[in-house]
Amino acid sequence: MDFTIPSRYFWHLSKKLLDKNSFVYILDFEVQLSNKGVFMTEPKKIRKEKEQEFHKKLILDAAKRLFAKKSIIEVTVDEIAKESGFAKSTLYSYFASKEALVSELLDSIITERLKELEDIAISDAPPEKKILMYIGINFEEAIEDRDMAVLLSRESHLFYDRTSRTLSKDIMNKILSAFKRSHSLLARIYDEGREKGVFREMEPHLFSTFLLSVIRGIIVRWWHFAPDEDIKFYINPVYEIILHGIEK
């Protein structure tokens, strides 16, 4: 059953998403309504667009969970359909192919992560502080979204892996572009530190390769062997090793 809510109450409205078939709307005058997010006052087209966006997100989240457990190459469309709770035909109504799904997922992840690194690189913080910030943000986000962290850490090998040739050129270009940009930004931070006399002379890209490899290795190890550990414990030890090495 649909209900029409007086316009004077619109600004009181808050919405909480429960599952893919149900929305619950809670008003400050304690009227609770549920009907797949349908209000007569909301145009049908807008309701449909919201529902589609939500379903699409469920599918992408399901794919991300599976990609964290197995490689992107190994996961099938059938598995994604089962994990998301949608029919295979529904998946294809949102994504033309598995490649299209992977491409959109990588777009959202890569854009967000590179923006964070760019913000750190251009900040006014000292270069050594920027390194600590970058290490910290990786481990903190691993806690917030473990699947994404493992996906990014483990799939970084794809550019070198011969099996990656089974992925489309578009996806490989996305991975390569993100890989190069991450190294470039970290190298920029290292160059800044060298110019200020904080860091010693070293090839900047060697530093960026080492730092990224350490972070990826710790995240994958944590996910596989110690998922109950607080990964933030590693922030300062990694920072100390990066800055001062292991000599007494």
- Give per-residue pLDDT as tens, 36-61: 444 445 577 777 788 888 889 999 99
Residue of 54, 57, 76 whose CA lies nearest to 67: 76
What confidence tens digit (pLDDT) does each residue in 140-176 have? 888 888 777 777 776 665 545 544 556 677 777 877 8
Task: Please say which residue of 42, 64, 94 terminates a domain.
Answer: 94
**Which segment of 124-138, 142-156, 185-199, 205-219 scores lowest on mean pLDDT?**
142-156
Residue of 155, 136, 157 whose CA lies nearest to 147: 155
Helix pair 98-121, 146-154: axis angle to 10 deg: 90
- Residue 31 Cα distances to 2, 70, 100, angstroms: 13, 45, 42
Q: Do 110 and 64 have their domain in common?
A: no
CB-based contact 159:175 (threshold 8 Å): yes
Residues in Cβ contact with 77 at an 8 Å cutoff, skipping those fewer than 6 apart = 88, 91, 92, 98
What span, in angstroms and rounded, lies between the C-alpha atoms of 184 and 181?
A: 5
Q: Do 49 and 156 have their domain in common?
A: no
Task: Give pTM, 2 decimals.
Answer: 0.69
Specify the pLDDT at position 165: 55
- Work out the average pLDDT over 70-84: 89
Paired residues of 109 in beta bridges: none
The tally of CA atoms less than 13 A away on the side-chain side of residue 100 is 9
Residue of 232, 240, 180, 234 whose CA lies nearest to 209: 180
Residue type, 7: S
Query: Residue 126 maps to which CATH number?
Result: 1.10.357.10
Domain containing residue 88: 7-94
Backbone angles phi, psi at 39, to 5 degrees: -125, 140
Per-residue confidence band for 129, with pLDDT thresholds at 50, 70 and 90: very high
Q: Do 58 and 111 have their domain in common?
A: no
CB-based contact 33:46 (threshold 8 Å): no
What confidence tens digit (pLDDT) does each residue in 167-195 have? 677 777 877 888 888 899 999 999 999 99
Q: Do 69 and 132 have their domain in common?
A: no
Structurally, the chain folds into a number of domains equal to: 2
Residue 135 has pLDDT above 90, yes or no: yes
Task: Please say which residue of 42, 68, 94 terminates a domain.
Answer: 94
Q: Do 117 and 205 have their domain in common?
A: yes
Task: Please say which residue of 42, 77, 94 terminates a domain.
Answer: 94
Q: Do 232 and 150 have their domain in common?
A: yes
CA 154 from chain center: how many Å?
13
**Which segment of 44-48, 159-163, 198-202, 208-212 scores lowest on mean pLDDT?**
159-163
